[in-house]
């Protein structure tokens, strides 16, 4: 720690000297800590400056984090960590202007000194990477120096430095926009205290807390399994698709999701320290991985560098004119082609986030632009998901309130819309909920729990009757009537006997018909709806929505994934929209998985696009931004080729001087970056309607 004030601290960290350190990753981790408002890194000085709100523990957390950076903080390939200095740009520009008026020997010495970094970078690049844009720059400057045209040489160096500075600031701004989105949200967790399961906010956890995580939930802490066994999905952390089995004694990381089973974890690291895995995952997707168009554009840019160099050498071989050859060498396609894509993608992602959509990376943005079919899981997407309990029907000696309290006691452990409806109704009536233990969530079926040693089952007819063998015949007529009215039914059983029904109804989202119409106007060919509801309820929904091409009813979770794969087999590019644990297989199978904001952890982690507001209009916004992003990339590509080819042609004909050629080339690059940024930040039609 070098210096501190009540709201600012400056640290010296020699790790910043390491060229393979991912500075974006480090900045994102430090920015994600609660209370931190700004982070600035200076790798040349090995300095980190952090502004925060003065809360205690932040300084210690910063030092601890930097002392224990994970391996993911280091890139497999060395990156350029040079931070451009505006003062240096200004000094080089001023020197270029005064160099014609300096004594000849002084101008010569200072010009070679100013050009030395460009020349050395060109030689180093040629020896280590081959013919790249740095080689062109060095050749153009070297030729101008060789013919004693010091003003041109200095002006080209100043322009190159100015171009790199503007590119650096554009790229830095786009990264900063994204890292500003990484503040972790407070999550609810379940903790065992004196044998009872108690709900609390994640930021209230302490080291040593016994955290309970069940099927479909994300692990909120780093720690070790104390009790139980589970199958974990760690793809969002490690990239490994295969599930990992854990048992008592095994270490687990925050960000993994329990696919099956239920475990109790003794917390080793809590709070902001456990956000590293999520920050890394987001950065890995959005900042390190490039889309296919970006990769193709970069490959083309690299292939065009030898062309420019060869043209410059040929120009000199035929004309013996250093001036014309230098003019050709100041033009390259690489800068604009390589930078417009990443800047445009990151800016588009930020624009989407400001409209309530988190798009997890360049590949997701590209895939979203290419979809022609959208498949919706009904509950919580096309409907509000805000189910309301309309009736409680007991069949035995339990009262309505006791039946409701028993169902709510089991359901309060989960965030599914059905669970929320039951718990909300119990809270409205002021009912005390019984203490539950051994709560087990069976995906898409129901919940098994114990109250005072007695097993309670809450779930669908399939779960209660077919899976658990409970006789539900006394409810058949009544249940059929409720379904014909478009209502959903929750069965409640105790000790193997049906105790009653909890009847609920859902409403179509008011914005849903407009969104579906807008998606069709954007060029989507097919809209498909999947639901576990009975046929009558499903058809009633389709009639209310309009624009629905297909609807499938009475589906199981595995059926949804099979329908998605079947549509893909027909050649469609498909997006799936869902929010439940049972939607995760379909979200993974789709070309693009889209999750609603209140979705289960497993669904949120499986999706490539996350709607951050409970409003379906974000889906139309995401689609429009994605299409515009790809269009912008294509426009930048064509404009770069056209402008630079024109400059190159004029330079090769001797029309342009080296200085004019450099000015026109750098101007085209700046204009291309400005266009990519401006168009990517423009408001969408749906956002304007909002």
Distance, in Å, from the CA atom of 308 to the CA atom of 330, rounded to the nearest integer, reads: 9
SS (H, E, C) 638-673: HHHHHHHHHHHHHHHCCCCCHHHHHHHHHHHHHHHH
pTM above 0.75, yes or no: no
Residue 294 contacts residue 262 (beta carbons within 8 Å): no
Range with the lowest mean pLDDT among 189-198, 284-293, 448-457, 677-686? 284-293
Is the C-alpha dihedral spanning 92, 94, 98, 102 positive or negative?
Answer: negative
Average confidence (pLDDT) over 53-58:
83
* Cβ neighbour number for residue 183 with a 10 Å cutoff: 14
**What tens digit of pLDDT does each residue of 402-436 get?**
999 999 988 887 767 788 889 999 999 999 888 77
∠ CA 303-304-305 to the nearest 5 degrees? 95
Residue 403 contacts residue 449 (beta carbons within 8 Å): no
Pick the CATH number of 357-384+508-612 from 3.40.50.1000, 1.10.3720.10, 3.30.230.10, 2.40.30.10: 3.40.50.1000
Residue 266 CB burial class (10 angstroms; 0-12, 13-18, ≥19): middle
pLDDT bracket for residue 238 (50, 70, 90): very low
Q: Which CATH superfamily is domain 388-505 in?
A: Calcium-transporting ATPase, cytoplasmic domain N (3.40.1110.10)
* Cβ neighbour number for residue 189 with a 10 Å cutoff: 25
Q: Report the candidate in 184, 180, 181 with the shortest Cα–Cα distance to residue 33.
A: 184
**What tens digit of pLDDT does each residue of 26-44 get?**
887 787 777 888 889 988 8
Higher pLDDT residue, 157 or 598? 157
C-alpha of 662 from chain center: 38
Long-range pairs for 454-457: beta carbons < 8 A, 24 or more residues apart: 454/494, 454/495, 455/494, 455/495, 455/496, 456/406, 456/409, 456/410, 456/492, 456/493, 456/494, 457/491, 457/492, 457/493, 457/494
**What tens digit of pLDDT does each residue of 315-333 get?**
888 888 878 888 887 777 7
DSSP 475-543: GHHHHHHHHHTT-EEEEEEETTEEEEEEEEE--B-TTHHHHHHHHHHTT--EEEEE-SS-HHHHHHHHH
Q: Which residues are catalytic?
A: 377
**What tens digit of pLDDT does each residue of 178-226 get?**
555 444 444 678 898 888 888 887 777 888 889 998 877 878 887 889 9
Q: Delimit the domains of the chain by residue range.
A: 3-83, 86-178+284-345+626-689, 357-384+508-612, 388-505
Distance, in Å, from the CA atom of 353 to the CA atom of 272, rounded to the nearest integer, reads: 22
∠ CA 424-429-431 to the nearest 5 degrees? 90
> DSSP label at 212?
E
Question: Given this model, what pLDDT does residue 598 score?
Answer: 67
Structure tokens that stand for 304 in this block: 């065009």
Distance, in Å, from the CA atom of 476 to the CA atom of 461, rounded to the nearest integer, reads: 10
Pick the CATH number of 3-83 from 3.20.20.70, 3.40.50.2300, 3.30.70.100, 3.20.20.390: 3.30.70.100
Residue 329 contacts residue 648 (beta carbons within 8 Å): no
Distance, in Å, from the CA atom of 668 to the CA atom of 666, rounded to the nearest integer, reads: 5
Is the C-alpha dihedral spanning 365, 369, 372, 378 positive or negative?
Answer: positive
Higher pLDDT residue, 236 or 413? 413
Distance, in Å, from the CA atom of 182 to the CA atom of 24, rounded to the nearest integer, reads: 12
**What tens digit of pLDDT does each residue of 249-267 get?**
888 877 778 878 889 999 8
Q: Is the pLDDT of residue 622 over 80?
A: yes
Distance, in Å, from the CA atom of 355 to the CA atom of 684, rounded to the nearest integer, reads: 9
Question: Given this model, what pLDDT does residue 280 score?
Answer: 46
- H or E, element range at 551: strand 550-552
**What tens digit of pLDDT does each residue of 543-570 get?**
888 888 999 887 876 788 888 889 999 9
Higher pLDDT residue, 541 or 281? 541
From residue 146, alpha-carbon distances to 121, 193, 367 in Å are 18, 79, 50
Distance, in Å, from the CA atom of 393 to the CA atom of 396, rounded to the nearest integer, reads: 10
Residue 10 contacts residue 3 (beta carbons within 8 Å): yes
* Cβ neighbour number for residue 635 with a 10 Å cutoff: 16
Q: Is the pLDDT of residue 383 over 90?
A: no
- The alpha-carbon radius of gyration of the chain (Å, integer) is 31
* Cβ neighbour number for residue 128 with a 10 Å cutoff: 8
Residue 257 contacts residue 230 (beta carbons within 8 Å): no
The strand order across the sheet containing 244-246 reads: 244-246, 230-233, 257-261
């Amino acid at each position: 720690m070098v210096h501190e004030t009540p709201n600012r601290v400056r640290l010296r960290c020699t790790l910043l000297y390491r060229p393979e350190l991912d500075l974006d990753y480090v900045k994102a981790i430090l920015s994600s800590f609660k209370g931190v408002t700004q982070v600035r890194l200076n790798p040349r000085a090995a300095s980190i400056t952090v502004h925060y709100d003065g809360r205690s523990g932040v300084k210690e957390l910063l030092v601890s984090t930097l002392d224990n950076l994970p391996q993911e903080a280091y890139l497999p390939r060395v990156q350029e960590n040079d931070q451009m200095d505006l003062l240096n740009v200004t000094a080089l520009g001023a020197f270029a202007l005064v160099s014609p008026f300096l004594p000849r020997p002084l101008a010569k010495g200072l010009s070679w000194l100013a050009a030395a970094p460009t020349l050395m970078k060109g030689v180093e690049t040629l020896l280590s990477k081959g013919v790249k844009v740095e080689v062109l720059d060095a050749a153009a400057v070297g030729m101008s120096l060789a013919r004693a045209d010091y003003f041109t040489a200095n002006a080209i160096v100043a322009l190159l430095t100015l171009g790199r500075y503007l590119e650096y600031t554009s790229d830095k701004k786009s990264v900063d926009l994204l890292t500003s989105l990484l503040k972790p949200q407070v999550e609810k967790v379940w903790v065992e205290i004196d044998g009872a399961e108690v709900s609390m906010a994640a930021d209230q956890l302490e080291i040593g807390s016994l955290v309970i995580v069940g099927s479909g939930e994300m692990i909120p802490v780093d720690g070790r399994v104390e009790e139980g066994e589970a199958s974990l999905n760690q793809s969002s952390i490690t990239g490994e698709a295969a599930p990992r089995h854990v048992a008592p004694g095994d270490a687990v990381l925050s960000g993994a999701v329990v696919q099956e089973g239920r475990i109790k974890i003794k917390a080793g690291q809590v709070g902001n320290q456990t956000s590293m895995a999520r920050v890394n995952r987001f950065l890995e997707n959005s900042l390190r991985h490039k889309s296919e168009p970006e990769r193709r554009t970069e490959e083309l840019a690299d292939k065009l560098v030898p062309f420019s160099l060869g043209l410059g050498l040929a120009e000199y071989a035929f004309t013996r004119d250093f001036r014309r050859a230098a003019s050709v060498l100041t033009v390259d396609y690489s800068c604009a082609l390589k930078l417009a894509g990443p800047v445009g993608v990151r800016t588009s992602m930020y624009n989407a986030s400001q409209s309530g959509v988190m798009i997890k990376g360049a590949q997701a943005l590209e895939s979203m632009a290419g979809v022609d079919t959208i498949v919706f899981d009904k509950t919580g997407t096309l409907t509000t998901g805000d189910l309301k309990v309309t009736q409680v029907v007991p069949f035995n000696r339990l009262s309505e309130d006791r039946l409701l309290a028993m169902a709510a006691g089991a359901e309060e452990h989960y965030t599914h819309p059905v669970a929320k409806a039951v718990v909300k109704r119990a809270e409205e009536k002021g009912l005390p909920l019984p203490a539950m233990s051994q709560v087990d969530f069976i995906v898409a079926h129901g919940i098994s729990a114990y109250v005072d040693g007695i097993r309670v089952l809450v779930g669908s007819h399939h779960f209660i009757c077919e899976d658990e063998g409970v006789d539900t015949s006394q409810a058949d007529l009544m249940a059929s009537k409720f379904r014909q009215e478009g209502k959903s039914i929750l069965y409640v059983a105790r000790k193997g006997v049906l105790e009653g029904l909890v009847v609920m109804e859902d409403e179509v989202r008011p914005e849903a018909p407009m969104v579906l119409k807008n998606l069709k106007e954007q060029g989507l060919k097919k809209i498909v709806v999947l639901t576990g509801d009975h046929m009558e309820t499903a058809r009633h929904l389709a009639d209310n929505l309009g624009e629905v091409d297909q609807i499938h009813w009475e589906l199981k979770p595995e059926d949804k994934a099979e329908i998605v794969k079947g549509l893909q087999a027909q050649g469609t590019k498909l997006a799936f929209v869902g929010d439940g644990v049972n939607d995760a297989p379909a979200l993974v199978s789709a070309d693009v998985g889209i999750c609603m904001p209140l979705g289960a952890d497993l669904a949120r982690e499986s999706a490539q696009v996350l709607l951050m507001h409970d409003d379906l209009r974000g889906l139309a916004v995401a689609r429009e931004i994605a299409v515009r992003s790809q269009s912008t990339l294509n426009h930048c590509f064509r404009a770069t080729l056209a402008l630079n080819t024109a400059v190159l042609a004029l330079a090769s004909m001797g029309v342009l001087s080296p200085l004019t050629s450099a000015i026109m080339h750098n101007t085209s690059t700046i204009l291309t970056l400005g266009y990519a940024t401006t168009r990517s930040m423009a408001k969408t039609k749906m956002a304007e309607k909002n």
